[in-house]
Amino acid sequence: MKKENVNRVVLIGAGAVGSSYAFAMLNQAVAEEFVIIDVNEDKATGDAMDLNHGKVFAPNPTKTWAGTYQDCKDAEIVCISAGANQQPGETRLDLVKKNLAIFQNIVSEVMASGFNGIFIVATNPVDILTYATWKFSGLPKERVIGSGTILDSSRFRYLLGEYFDVTPSNIHANIIGEHGDTELPVWSHATVGGVPILELVERHEEYKVEDLEEIFINVRDAAYHIIEKKGATYYGIAMGLTRMTKAILNNENVILTVSAYLNGQYGTEDVYMGVPAIVNREGIRNIVEVSLNEKEQQLFNHSAEVLKNILTTNFE
């Protein structure tokens, strides 16, 4: 039996993303208990051993073990990063069929345990699989959250930070829409220390619109470049998932750009997409509706359309 006031997080899928998430979670001592499940039981057991051996160096020891679906019953959060990843040349949307089948199985096992917490989904295509998790689990939409464009927004802030030579935390800028090829930058609300980036480009000759466009392309295509070089991407997303987990467990009411269920916001409904949202202990408290300009709204509608077509094919 789990003690009261102890936070338990269960990870399902201890591959490159899952193991990196586990490493970040233990290093930041986010939860008191961390359980690892993988269809490859040896990988889960080996990871738990390896992580436990470093526990003495963490800010607080996290009780860590390779578990079973029964452990989900008392978990506050189940984070899923199980499934196939992109091979060179594959888009995220190419993974739909393979990963939907895996998710049907995983989510029904989690729910059969009596789980009543919050799902965080990382597996690609993340917006589709977050929707699938919501459907398969029957949980309220607020308690199923995808990583969405949290990583893309973080890549965006990093590159803009380099460009303007300012630390990324002082850049406020979002990538929204599908976590994938149809995502879009919200330039109309991007600021550096409160100054609109579009104004900076107008006022200072050294900054150019073409450079901004190139920054966005690099963000959008970052996964392809990393996969070409080292086969997979995992550290960035793992840190993003850890940030989401912290926001929930610490009841932070922080705004993160995650995949949330849209119910009319941004003129779109019945789809999960990356948008800024207030995250707390209840999951998604609210979606932040930024007023998009006409071009941004068109791009957003297109992104929604692409995702909805996939949902229609697979869920009707």
User: Is the CB of 164 or the CB of 182 nearer to ligand 6V0?
Assistant: 182
The CA-atom distances, in angstroms, between 224 and each of 19, 83, 217, 296, 304 are 21, 18, 11, 24, 22
> What number of residues does the chain have?
316
To ligand 6V0, the closest distance from the beta carbon of 238 in angstroms equals: 9
Q: Catalytic residue at 179?
A: yes
- Of residues 64 through 103, those in contact with ligand 6V0 by CB under 6 A are 81-86, 95, 102
Query: Coil, helix or strand for 226?
Result: helix
By CB under 6 A, residue 259 contacts ligand 6V0: no
Report the residue number, 118 or 192, with the smaller CB distance to ligand 6V0: 118
- Minimum separation from the CB atom of position 102 to ligand 6V0 (A): 5
CA 263/CA 298 separation, integer angstroms: 18
H helices then E strands: how many in the chain?
Answer: 10, 14
Contact yes or no for 124/179 (Cβ under 8 A)? yes
Q: Which of residues 269-288 bind ligand 6V0 (CB under 6 A)?
A: none
**CB-based contact 212:204 (threshold 8 Å):** no
Contact assessment for residue 186 and residue 290, using Cβ atoms and an 8 Å cutoff: yes
Binding characters for ligand 6V0, 132-151, by CB under 6 A (x = yes): ---------------x---x
18 touching ligand 6V0, by CB under 6 A: yes
Q: Which residues bind ligand 6V0 (CB under 6 A)?
A: 12-18, 38-40, 43, 81-86, 95, 102, 105-106, 122-124, 126, 147, 151, 179, 232-234, 237
Give catalytic residues, as residue numbers. Answer: 179
